[in-house]
Amino acid sequence: MTDKRDYYDVLGVERSATEKDLKNAFRRLARKYHPDRSDEQDAEEKFKEIQEAYAVLSDAQKRAHYDRFGHDNSAGNPFGGFSGGGFNINLEDLLGGDFFSGFFGGGRGRTRERRGSDILVRHSIDMATVFTGSEESIELDLPMECITCQGTGAKDGNTTTCGKCNGQGRVRVRQQIGPFVNEVIQDCRDCGATGSVIESPCSDCKGRGHRVENKTVRFSVPQGAEHGTRLRLRGQGQPAERGQGSNGDLLIEIEIVSHAWFERNGSDLIMSLPLGYPDLMLGTKVTIDHIDGKKLDIVIPPRSSAGHTLEIKKRGLPHMRRSGRGDVVVLLKLHVPEKISKADKKQLESMKSNFNPVDQMERILEDAADRRANE
């Protein structure tokens, strides 16, 4: 099924390897096989294999899954396939700055793109809006770049180069790992990794570079939107630290207010309809207002049973990513009045012989068989 090598073999470690063992093995092999450095044949393949093995084994959840199921990802793997997707390994941090300074001209570390945080806002809509989709416009208090200091956080925009990192935003830190001392590059804490320090903070934003402002945000809710659907408005989130970098995103999570009588199942709408015994027996038509603005006719055929459902095709909600609509599913129920008059009681008594099952036990068995067949 798979000719992949065992991840532990790839890294040359025992199955009982600790996090530290894995890291050391990865460091050693990555240095050896990094395609930019290695003269080995198939270095790139080897490096990918090492990276994949490390990505899986260094993640406790993925490792546990791998220990149990090996490379078999076919069934019930809740983490998605191991291969294919990218692995989030910070090579620079793992291998240390020295490793990279060789081929990035040395000295100046690569500047990472800095980005503000994403902001999540919840927005409620009703079922009718799910049906039509809509252009929404809401007022939000959002952090915006401070105009006074243009997001720098500094009064008059004056900043000085951070002394600790010499303006690079990152510093080399010596780390003792077992018997080895490694150099790792980390964000500079003195300047919040921006490389500059503020001499006197902007009084309007207190040096933060952003301040909360009321803003009108417009977005469109797609037809058939589901509860929990998230809309991403790029660049409308938190500005980056001190204006250096791009804004985060604004995420709008759609909440759908419960409908008065419909439940929702995907694009189907489900409702229950209590009817009197004569209507179930003789059939009837019930007309109610519907979310599509038209009337919904529910035709109950004669001899309908309480507990059965009727489907009204293509009168449900629009499908979200394709054309067409779901159905309305009507669960028939028997309405039992609170009180009955003496006269009604008499009439019902007289009906018993015609309506009650002749052979009760036979009906019980028949009904049970029906129910099982429908399971």
Residues that bind Zn ion (CB under 5 A): 146, 148-149, 162, 164-165, 188, 190-191, 202, 204-205
Contact 162, 206 (CB under 8 A): no
Closer residue to Zn ion in complex, CB, 11/240? 240
Phi then psi dihedrals of residue 363, to 5 deg:
-65, -40
Contact 273, 332 (CB under 8 A): yes
Closer residue to Zn ion in complex, CB, 165/329? 165
Scan for tokens 């394709």, then name that residue: 322
Contact 347, 354 (CB under 8 A): no
Cα–Cα distance for residue pair 309/201, rounded to 1 Å: 68
Closer residue to Zn ion in complex, CB, 142/146? 146
Closer residue to Zn ion in complex, CB, 30/144? 144
Closer residue to Zn ion in complex, CB, 142/332? 142
**In the bound complex, what is the minimum distance in angstroms from residue 179's beta carbon to Zn ion?**
30
The β-bridge partners of 230 are 253
**In the bound complex, what is the minimum distance in angstroms from residue 212's beta carbon to Zn ion?**
12
Question: Residues 215, 221, 226, CA angle at the centre, nearest 5°?
Answer: 125
User: CA nearest 71: which of 10, 139, 24, 141?
Assistant: 10
**In the bound complex, what is the minimum distance in angstroms from residue 169's beta carbon to Zn ion?**
6
Tokens of 121: 């806002």
Question: Residues 193, 94, 99, CA angle at the centre, nearest 5°?
Answer: 90
**In the bound complex, what is the minimum distance in angstroms from residue 323's beta carbon to Zn ion?**
50
**In the bound complex, what is the minimum distance in angstroms from residue 183's beta carbon to Zn ion?**
17
